[in-house]
């Protein structure tokens, strides 16, 4: 997924499909459902720090769905 920004937007999130991927868990490699999330942002309107914080918040919320 490669999101494309169209003016007047300043950012867009792209979410791929869930797929089983190898994942390290407790020192073992196991199959886990994983989703890829990307963010395209116009650096004239925002900076990378805000974008990284936004993606970190999405990750945290997906790891703790009871908070949604």
Q: Which one from 26, 42, 43, 49 is the annotated catalytic residue?
A: 43
**For the chain, give me the number of helices (H) and strands (E)?**
1, 4
**From CA 37, how far away is CA 52, in angstroms rounded?**
12
Residue with tokens 């900076």: 47
* 42 part of the active site: no
Residues 64, 36: Cα–Cα separation, whole Å: 17
> Is 47 in the active site?
yes
Question: Any idea which residues carry the catalytic annotation?
Answer: 43, 47
């Amino acid at each position: 997924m490669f999101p494309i920004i169209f003016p007047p937007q300043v950012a867009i999130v792209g979410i791929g499909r869930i797929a089983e991927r190898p994942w390290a868990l407790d020192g073992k490699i196991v199959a886990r459902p994983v989703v890829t999330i990307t963010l395209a942002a116009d650096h004239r309107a925002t900076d990378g720090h805000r974008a990284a914080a936004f993606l970190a918040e999405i990750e945290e919320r997906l790891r703790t769905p009871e908070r949604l």
